[in-house]
Amino acid sequence: MEPIGAVTKRREMLASLLGGAAASQLLACRRAPDEPESIDGRLGAPDHAFGHRLRDGLHLEEWDDVPEERTRVAIIGGGVAGLAAGWRLRTRGISGVRLYEMESSVGGTARSGQNRHVAFPLGAHYLPLPRRDDRVLRGFLDSMGALEDDEGAEHVLVREPDERVFYRGYWYRGLYPYAGASNEDLAELARFEGEMLRFAQSRGEDGKPAFTLPSRECSTDPRFIELDAIDAETYLAREGYRTARLRWLCDYATRDDYGLALSEASAWALVFYWAARIHEGAEETSEVLTWPSGNAALARALAEPLRGRIDTNVMAVDVRQQAGEVRILLLTPGGARRRVIADRAVLAMPKFIASKIARRAKLPDIGEPTYGPWWVANLHLASRPRGRGEVLAWDNVIYDSPSLGYVTATHQTGRDSGPTVLTYYFPMTGDVSEARQRLMDAELETLQTACLTDLSAPHPELVSRLERLDVWRWGHAMAQPRPGFLQEGARFSAGKASGRIHFAHSDLSGLALFEEAFHHGVRAADEIADAV
């Protein structure tokens, strides 16, 4: 039995992380978990101490004695966009490419961890099979063995059972909770799906598809762009969608892809979530590719042709174009200085960092995007959790939870018993800077408690199987597509180079998806390859 004091303490902890109302909501519909003294774990994050040196002043004269290194193309930033730029340059036969990464490993939000049993994602973890005419991305996937006969390779497509949802005490197949759904619920779902299918099959006056990936190939027809003027909640109300289940599904969608609540996301982005994943001529959303390590497998394959050409633990502190070349100043965590002179550079980083490094460059005209905070928990388990209803799936979603549920790392390996790692995702919605502050102030124990409180509803016995619980904090996980982010379609052409400095990042699209980062990397690489 639990003393009242422990309950109060938990409430306070959760309130400090989530705010009072959300904390009460989480506690109200969950059983109190059995709390052991403390759980092993580690609190990780991108290296902020290092990153924050950018805020300190820079004394350029101190760099004068540093010897110059020369390279043809310098890529700064080893997230998906930077890696894709490097991959594209190498496959187009451009030599003299070097990539500089601030962290100790590349991959950005597509990084992974590994224990003695299995690899597991720390961030992004799947990729919908791209449409057939996306030759570049398909070509890359084929080269890494993710396709067979122009279809998703069987072992890379998500294995059955792919998805289940925990609704009122039971796990059900799929994402939408069909159990107990009324005729009105089902009719509304069918109407919504039909509407999304129509959007997926529509083209604008300009002949372009209304919604497709990458987003810069979407139509700028005002018929579709006008959706960006309102938020997703207003859109649902305007179209007469009323049922709680459909609203939950849509709210899950915007939190899942964008880290935004329904009321915060652009309605265009909500429709994009569904419509862009239905390929032309198809009736259903495309199949999904995944790996035990999540999208880290994609990042690793992109990095392959750059082997020996990646420097980690080096942070660019100044990038400027001067006399027909790009001069880059780099700093290591130990304080060592490096000077790189390149013909061209790719700034593969979000705008809020680029603006601090390339002060004189003309930065992409995307306004000032907000970047949402997320946290991701890796639960290392000695054995699989039990649950009532449908068996453990790859993606396991909890209805009415502020989290996105969890994915099972061993699912794709075929190992159906014994130890596993569950990766639990939690986007912090609401006021961005306030939420980020709460996240950064939170202690490991608070985040662990929030995760276990949430998961105690489907898995009351989870703690007894838990070996450790690590939490990874992403302070600036992704640029957010809030209403107006398309700038009336101007977004689709964002990313123009500033002389010899090129830009590649998913925040140019405002949609933090692998496909967007990849295509911006490829575009930047093509600009360079075409120019040289």
Partner 1 sequence: MTDADTPEPGSAKPSGTDSDVAASAADGRPRLPTPLLYLTVLIIATSGLVYELLAGTLASYVLGDSVLQFSTTIGAYLFAMGIGSYLSRFVGNDVARRFLEVELAAALAGGLSAPLLFLGFAYADFFSVLLYGTIGLVGILVGLEVPLLMRILREHLAFEELVARVLTFDYIGALVGSLLFAIVLVPTLGLNRTALLFGMLNAAVAFGGTFILAPLLRRRERTRLRLGALLIGGVLLAGFAQADAITDYAEEGLYSEPVVFSQQTPYQRIVVTGGQTGVQLFLNGNLQFAQHDEYRYHEALVHPAFAAAQEPSRVLVLGGGDGLALREIWKHPGVESATLVDLDPAMTEMASRLPPLVALNAQAFEDPRLTVVHEDALVWLDEESRGPFDVIVVDFPDPNNFSLGKLYTRRFYRLVRGALADGGTLVVQSTSPLYARQSFWCVDRTMREAGLHTHPYHATVPSFGEWGFVLAQKTPFDPPSRLTTAGLRFLDDRTLERMFEFPPDMARVAVEPNRLNDQRLVRYYEAEWSRLAP
- Helix (H) or strand (E) holding 197, with range, is helix 183-201
Rg (CA), the chain: 23
**How far is CA 219 from each of CA 232, 371, 514, rounded to the nearest angstrom?**
19, 25, 20
In this structure, which long-range contacts are made by residues 45-51, counting pairs with CB atoms below 8 Å and at least 24 apart in sequence? Answer: 45/472, 45/473, 45/474, 45/475, 46/103, 46/474, 46/475, 47/102, 47/103, 47/104, 47/333, 48/475, 50/102, 50/315, 50/333, 51/102, 51/315, 51/353
Residue 467 and residue 145: Cα distance in Å, rounded? 34
State the minimum distance, in angstroms, from the CB of residue 383 to partner 1.
8
Structure tokens at 201: 């099959």
State the minimum distance, in angstroms, from the CB of residue 2 to partner 1.
7
Complex with partner 1: residue 162 or 221, whichever CB lies closer: 162
Residue ranges binding partner 1 (CB under 8 A): 1-2, 4, 31-34, 152, 154-155, 157-162, 169-170, 287, 383, 386, 388-391, 413-418, 456, 460-461, 464
Complex with partner 1: residue 212 or 420, whichever CB lies closer: 420
Complex with partner 1: residue 87 or 171, whichever CB lies closer: 171
Neighbours of 387 (CB within 10 A): 20
State the minimum distance, in angstroms, from the CB of residue 160 to partner 1.
4
State the minimum distance, in angstroms, from the CB of residue 377 to partner 1.
21
> Could you write out the three-class secondary structure of 440-492?
HHCCHHHHHHHHHHHHCCCCCCHHHHEEEEEEEEEEEEEECCCCCCCHHHHHH
Complex with partner 1: residue 114 or 464, whichever CB lies closer: 464
Complex with partner 1: residue 2 or 488, whichever CB lies closer: 2
State the minimum distance, in angstroms, from the CB of residue 129 to partner 1.
10
Structure tokens at 119: 């690899």
Are 471 and 377 a contacting pair, CB within 8 Å? Answer: yes
State the minimum distance, in angstroms, from the CB of residue 399 to partner 1.
17
Complex with partner 1: residue 11 or 337, whichever CB lies closer: 11
- Helix (H) or strand (E) holding 284, with range, is none
State the minimum distance, in angstroms, from the CB of residue 420 to partner 1.
13
Structure tokens at 15: 């309130």
Chain-centroid distance of CA 33 in Å reads: 29
Complex with partner 1: residue 6 or 21, whichever CB lies closer: 6
Residue 319 and residue 331: Cα distance in Å, rounded? 12
Complex with partner 1: residue 32 or 532, whichever CB lies closer: 32
State the minimum distance, in angstroms, from the CB of residue 158 to partner 1.
6
State the minimum distance, in angstroms, from the CB of residue 414 to partner 1.
4
Complex with partner 1: residue 448 or 509, whichever CB lies closer: 448
